[in-house]
Amino acid sequence: MADKTFIVKIKRQQRPDEAVRWEEFELRWRPHMNVIICLRDIAERPFTREGKESSAVSYEANCLEEVCGACAMVINGKPRQACTALVDDLEKPIRLEPLTKFPLIRDLQVDRSKMFDDLKRTKCWIPIDGTYDIGPGPRMAPEKQEEAYPLSRCITCGNCLEICPKVNADDQFVGAAIVSQVRLFNMHPTGAMHSAARLDALMGPGGIEDCDNAQNCVKICPKGIPLTESLASVNGQVLRHAIKSFFTAPKTIGSAAPEG
Amino acid sequence: MAVAASNSRTSYILDKLQSLSGIVPIGAFLAEHIWSNSYALVSPAKYNDVSSELQQVPWRIFVETAVLWLPLLFHSLYGFYIWWKGKSNITAHPWMSNWMYTLQRWTGLIAFVFIAWHLYTQRYEGHGVTSYADVQQFLTNPWNLTFYIIGLLAASFHLGNGVWNFACKWGIAVSVRSQRAFGLLGAAVGVSFALAGIAIVIGLHYGAFPLGGYVTGGGQ
C-alpha cells in the first residue's frame, strides 16, 4: 500500500530583493507531525513535488514547545507558531509564508529585532543587579503575582504585530506585545521605579496612541494574553502620567510610588 | 526624520485630541442637533421657535467656528491621516472588532462628505436662517432624503463605535467586561441616534407630527 502523503506549499525568496517563488513539496504522512517536522523532511530530501532539486527551506526555530517565539510564520493565512501547528489539524495543502511585518532574511526567516529594540527602548526589565548589593525588593502579594503571570507568558513571537493594521511600513507602532510588557514591568514593585521612563517611551511616535482598537492581537496571541486589557490599562497609565507631568512639579524626594 | 524626534509628544497630543474631539464637542453637538431637530416632530411653530433661538446665539460665527467647524475639520483631516497610516486586513481576518475598525474609517468618510454637503446646503445656501418650511421643501426630494438617511446612519455608527473606542483609548474601560459594557453603550447610542435622526427626516419628508399630540392636548 502506498504511503499517505500531503502537500506543503512554501513561499520562497533567496534574498529580500529576489522575485517570490512558490514551491510545492509532497511529504510522507506520519502520526503527530508538526510544521517544523515538514521543514526538516524537506531539508532531508529537498526535491519539489515535480522532482526538481531544490534547497532546504530557511526558517527559525529553537524550543519546539511554544516558549521561544522564534518559529512564528503565516500558516494557511494566519500567523502562528510552526511548532504547535499540527499537520493533522491543518487544511491541505498547507501554505507557509514568512511574517510580512518584519524585514525578510530568506524564505520563512525574518528579522524580528524591531521588537527586541522596542523592549529595550521601553526598559522592559527589572533592575536588580548593580555594582553593589541593593538588597531584597519589596514583597509581591500572591494576587498581584497571579495578575502578572499571564502577561509574563509573552514569547515575543510577533504574531500580534503581524495581525495589527497599525503595524506597517507607514506606522512604527510598537505593537501589543511591547505595550503588554510595559504593563507587566510597571506592575512589579521594583519595576515600577522605572515606570515613568517606560510611559514616556510610549508617548512618542509609534507609542500607545497608535493603537486603534481593531483588537486582532488578542485573538491571534498563542499564549492567550489579555492584550486588549493591557492596551487599555497602559493607555490610562500614559494619560495620567502625561497629565501629572504637565501640571505638577515634584514635592517629595525618595518616593518610588508607581505612576498611573 | 529630524522633526519626529523619538521623544516628541506632538503625535500623542494630536491623537488624543482627535479622539476627544469626536466625543466633545462633535458627539455632544450631534446629540444637541438631534434633540433640537426633534421639534420637527412636534410642530412647525415649535421647530421655528427653537431654531430661531439657536440662530440668535450671541457671537454666533465665533462659537460656530470654535465649537463646530475647527473641531470637525481637525477630527476629519487628522482622522484621514490616521486611516492612511493603518492598513486594513479585513479580508484575511474578518473578526467583528476588525470590521468595526474598518467600518469606523468608511463611516467617517461618508459622514464627512455628508456634513460638508449638509453645511453647504443648510448653512451656506440657507444663510443659517432656515425654517421648517425650507427644510421640509428640501427633504421632499427623495434623493436628498436618501442621502440624509445614509449620512445619519454613518454618523450614528461612527459616534456609537467611537464611544467604545474612546472608553478603551482613555483607559476608562480596561477589563474585558467593561469594554463589552461600553460596546453595548456605544451600540445603544448608535441605534438611538440613527432611529431618532431617521424619524426626524422622514417626519419632515411627509410633514408628519407624531410627537405633537400630547403637546397640543388633542392631536389635531
pLDDT tens digit string along A31-88? 999 999 999 999 999 999 999 999 999 999 999 999 999 999 999 999 999 999 999 9
Q: Is the pTM of this model over 0.90?
A: yes
Length of chain B: 220
Least CB-CB distance to A205: which of B8, B101, B169?
A: B8
Identify whether the C-beta of residue A201 lies closer than 8 Å to the C-beta of residue A122: yes
pLDDT at B209 over 70: yes
Question: Where along chain A do the CATH 1.10.1060.10 domains lie?
Answer: 113-247
Instruction: Name which of B217, B218, B213, B202 is nearest B43 in CA terms.
Output: B213
Question: What CATH superfamily is the domain A5-110?
Answer: Beta-grasp domain (3.10.20.30)
pLDDT score recorded for residue A255: 52
Least CB-CB distance to A209: which of B15, B87, B164?
A: B15
Q: What residues in A contact B173, CB-CB < 8 Å? A: 232
pLDDT score recorded for residue B215: 53
User: How would residue B214 be classed by pLDDT, with cut points 50, 70 and 90?
Assistant: low
pLDDT for A210-249, tens place per residue?
A: 999 999 999 999 999 999 999 999 999 999 999 999 999 9
Q: Which CATH number fits domain A113-247: 3.30.565.10, 1.10.1060.10, 1.10.10.10, 1.20.1250.20?
A: 1.10.1060.10
Is A212's CB within 8 Å of B165's CB? Answer: yes
Instruction: Name which of A78, A96, A77 is nearest A34 in CA terms.
Output: A96
Tell me the ipTM for this assembly: 0.91
Q: In the numeric block, which cell numbers belong to residue A253? A: 524626594
Identify whether the C-beta of residue A21 lies closer than 8 Å to the C-beta of residue A12: yes
Residue A174 Cα, gap to closest chain B Cα (Å): 13
Q: Which CATH number fits domain B13-216: 3.10.350.10, 1.20.1300.10, 1.10.3720.10, 1.10.10.10?
A: 1.20.1300.10
Question: Where along chain A do the CATH 3.10.20.30 domains lie?
Answer: 5-110
Is A232's CB within 8 Å of B179's CB? Answer: yes
pLDDT at A117 over 80: yes
Interface test with A, best of B81, B89, B166 (most A CBs within 10 A): B89
Interface test with B, best of A117, A183, A212, A237 (most B CBs within 10 A): A212
- For chain B, the DSSP string reads --SS-TT--HHHHHHHHHHHHIIIIIIHHHHHHHHHHGGGGT-HHHHHHHHHHHHT-TTHHHHIIIIIIHHHHHHHHHHHHHHHH----TTT---HHHHHHHHHHHHHHHHHHHHHHHIIIIIITTTT---HHHHHHHHHSHHHHHHHHHHHHHHHHHHHHHHHHHHHHTTSS-SHHHHHHHHHHHHHHHHHHHHHHHHHHHHHHHT--TTSHHHHTS--
* Residue A11 neighbours by CB distance under 10 Å: 18
pLDDT at B219 over 70: no
Helix (H) or strand (E) holding A23, with range, is strand A21-28
Residue A16, helix vs strand vs coil: coil
Least CB-CB distance to B95: which of A204, A213, A219?
A: A219
Burial pattern A221-246, b for ≥16 Cβ within 10 A else e, equals bbbebbbbbbbbbbbbbbbebbeeee
pLDDT score recorded for residue A256: 52
Phi, psi of A105 (to 5 degrees): -100, -60
pLDDT at B45 over 80: yes
* Residue A134 neighbours by CB distance under 10 Å: 11
pLDDT for B9-33, tens place per residue?
A: 999 999 999 999 999 999 999 999 9
| List of E strands, A49-142 | 72-75, 78-81, 94-97, 104-106, 109-110
pLDDT score recorded for residue A254: 59
Is B168's CB within 8 Å of A232's CB? Answer: yes
Interface test with A, best of B14, B19, B97 (most A CBs within 10 A): B97
d(CA B56, CA B64): 12
Q: Mean pLDDT across chain A, nearest whole number?
A: 94
Mean pLDDT of B167-194: 97
Helix (H) or strand (E) holding A6, with range, is strand A5-12
The amino acid at residue B163 is: V
